[in-house]
Amino acid sequence: MTKSTATYWNVLSPQAQERWAPVKGLEGIAEELTLSIDEESGEYTKLTRFLPGADTTAFGGKTHLYPEEVFIVSGRLYDKAFEMWLEAGHYASRPPGELHGPFKTDVGCVVLEISFPNRVG
């Protein structure tokens, strides 16, 4: 089990825009870019970009059975479950089952996510 690797490249540059894809179900408000993935275990590292004005309130909060880590790279994002604005530099290591979201942003936000879907606990 090995995650994919890549040499240095600027994922936030205009030239990388074509690599971003709409988040399924959140088309028009969020995009994602997978940075690394282990096809066997399903573990991945990705960026999620919430566009300015994005609001996932209609979808409610979410939980999952596996742990994940998140780091706010830029912008800010409101997490209703925690009733707080997350800004660049905020980090969390979420345990399995922790409620997060729904989310909204006024200025947009880029989130680094490292997830471990086979570490169900």
Q: What whole-number distance in Å separates Cα of residue 56 and Cα of residue 53?
A: 10
Return d(Cα 102, Cα 58) in angstroms, integer. 8
pLDDT, one tens digit per residue, over 52-106 is 999 999 999 999 999 999 999 999 999 999 999 999 999 999 999 999 999 999 9
Predicted confidence (pLDDT) per residue in 32-55, tens digit: 999 999 998 889 999 999 999 999
What is this structure's pTM?
0.91
Q: How far apart are CA 70 and CA 62, in angstroms?
A: 14
Q: Please state, in angstroms and rounded to a whole number, the distance separating the CA atoms of residues 35 and 65.
A: 22
Query: What residues contact 100, with CB distance under 8 A and at least 6 apart?
Result: 61, 62, 63, 79, 81, 82, 94
| pLDDT for the residue numbered 49 | 97
pLDDT of residue 1: 60
